[in-house]
Amino acid sequence: MSWSKVMLALALALMSLASPPARADAEYDLFLATLWPEAEAMGISRKTFDGALVGLTLDRKLPEIGVEPGEPDKNTKGQPEFVKPPSTYMRESQLRDLAKTGAAEARRWKADLDGIERKYGVSRHILLAIWARETAYGTYELPHNAIRVLASQAFLGLRRDFFRNELLWALKILEGGHASIGEMRSSWAGAMGHTQLMPTNWRDFAEDFDGDGRRNIWSSVPDALASAAKSLIGPKEVEGKPYQWLKGRSWGYEVRKPASFDCTMEGLEGWRPLSAWVGMGYERAYGRKLSPELLADEAYLLLPQGAHGPAFLVTHNFLILKTYNFADIYALFVGTLADRMAGTKPFEAAWGAAPPVSERDALELQNYLVGLGLTVGKVDGKVGWRTRVALGVFEKANGLAVDCYPTPDDVVAMRAGKGL
């Protein structure tokens, strides 16, 4: 344990007799003060440190603040990837409008995008789609002060060590004069700029593409788009394996489900060449064909809403997009919007009207499935592909409609004590 953490623990013990509100404020102030040795070791001046942290107040309304591991998050308003059903998140009218605006932005920034594509090999449409999803092409006003967000999460969030490091690197950005505190507006998690980079992502990937001497993701569109491109090219590790951005390849394809469709085949454990999927009866939406050179590319089945919505075969590039935001639906939105900009049609299959369940019910289902010996991934009330596959196995075993998506029928069966 570091000396600063030892001092913090001792001081917190001494303050245990204080009244609760005063104790919370005092503990927070002390926590911030104990960051100084680490900040100083990183070359951050006392002036920058005090200017950013002295008098800083705690924000208790952020997601993941005051939530115990394994409990539903009571402040999930800021996490649309986890609280909106795919049918809402992938709304066609929004995709259409963003694609239209994206075409205009592509013309406006053509020279820069040409250069970024040449340097990094990432499609301009992917980069524009990230920009659109993150800040609506820079028109969305980020709601938070990054320093306050990162400090609050480092003190009282679920991932305190992670955010402690991000806070220190945010101070490093200030120290270097790359942005002011006022410029450093952020999401609830501290992601900043046009394309929403965390401070350590800025450290690793930010580019001065416009050549003005600043790695300025806050007000320079060329810098922000180049930084996003650099962050994607890899190699990137996803679930313990390295993946590389494949230049000129798609993120994936909407496909028609065959008569033998089985939703429990979804997920990363089902990598197959596209030729194998075609041999199993999967074909591209609208009857489009895969060119012969693509058939050797690997893909796995993605069913964001189980059997209730469109099906996709997604490639290595999809996993790279997930390193930007790990939610499947985020990567799907970015890939789909990029395709819309390139002129593809809307989804052929409709998003079904799956009866929703609450995050608390989803969490209860996950715990129950784990108790049956099934693998659901992280037990957090958020439904990823592993939870969907486990649900499909449970549904098959109990004569339920096999849709691999949490519905009230699944909750009823669980509470009735159904097993495998």
> How far does Cα 223 stand from its chain's mean position?
21
What's the burial of 36, exposed, middle or buried (CB within 10 Å: 0-12/13-18/19+)? middle
Q: What pLDDT is recorded for position 397?
A: 96
> How far does Cα 234 stand from its chain's mean position?
17
How far is residue 255 from each of residues 88, 186, 199, 208, 344, measured CA to CA in Å?
Answer: 20, 37, 38, 40, 14
Q: What pLDDT is recorded for position 15?
A: 46
Q: What pLDDT is recorded for position 75?
A: 64
Q: What pLDDT is recorded for position 78?
A: 45
Q: What pLDDT is recorded for position 19?
A: 45
- 198 neighbors 166 (Cβ within 8 angstroms): yes
Q: What pLDDT is recorded for position 76?
A: 58
Q: What pLDDT is recorded for position 356?
A: 73
Q: What pLDDT is recorded for position 301?
A: 98
Structure tokens at 356: 């929703």
Q: What pLDDT is recorded for position 87?
A: 86
- Return the residue matching tokens 């159904």: 418
pTM (2 d.p.): 0.89
pLDDT digits 0-9 by tens, 151-198: 999 999 999 999 999 999 999 999 999 999 999 999 999 999 999 999
What type of residue is 251? W
Q: What pLDDT is recorded for position 247?
A: 94
Residues of the chain predicted below pLDDT 50:
11-19, 21, 78
> How far does Cα 390 stand from its chain's mean position?
22
